[in-house]
Amino acid sequence: MTDTQIKAATGIPPSTFHRWQTTEGGLPRWEKVAQFCAGLDIPLTAASAALGMTDNAREPEPDPTDDPDLRALGRRLRDPAVSDTEKQAIRHTIRLLARSTRSEVD
């Protein structure tokens, strides 16, 4: 994927994920890592292992794939027969829902 595609999928600017690659500034904020993983359909456990966050100091959140609706969305996002436009719409809707939930909590 290009930097532009990664930013479109995750909402994380390239300067941020390039900084993660060089480990400048220490460990990234977990919320940003989770956002990045969600946008690219990467398991949080893989990210925590790559970042060396496997000890009890910072446990990753449980994988939400126990939810049948989220499993169905994941299948649609991985399905090559589903158009890129529909996949973008699904991701956009999920991000909007996640933001509205965070605003209510904050």
Which helix (DSSP H) or strand (DSSP E) does residue 48 occupy?
helix 44-50
Question: What are the residue boundaries of the structural domains of the chain, listed by start?
Answer: 1-61, 63-106
Residue 72 reports pLDDT greater than 90: no
Burial bucket for residue 33 (CB in 10 Å: 0-12, 13-18, 19+): buried
Question: Once rounded to an integer, what is the mean pLDDT over residues 13-36?
Answer: 82
pLDDT at 8 over 50: yes
pLDDT of residue 64: 58
79-93 pLDDT, tens digit each: 889 899 999 998 888
Q: So what's the pLDDT on residue 57?
A: 47
Beta-carbon contacts of residue 10 (< 8 Å; ≥ 6 apart): 17, 35, 36, 38, 39, 40
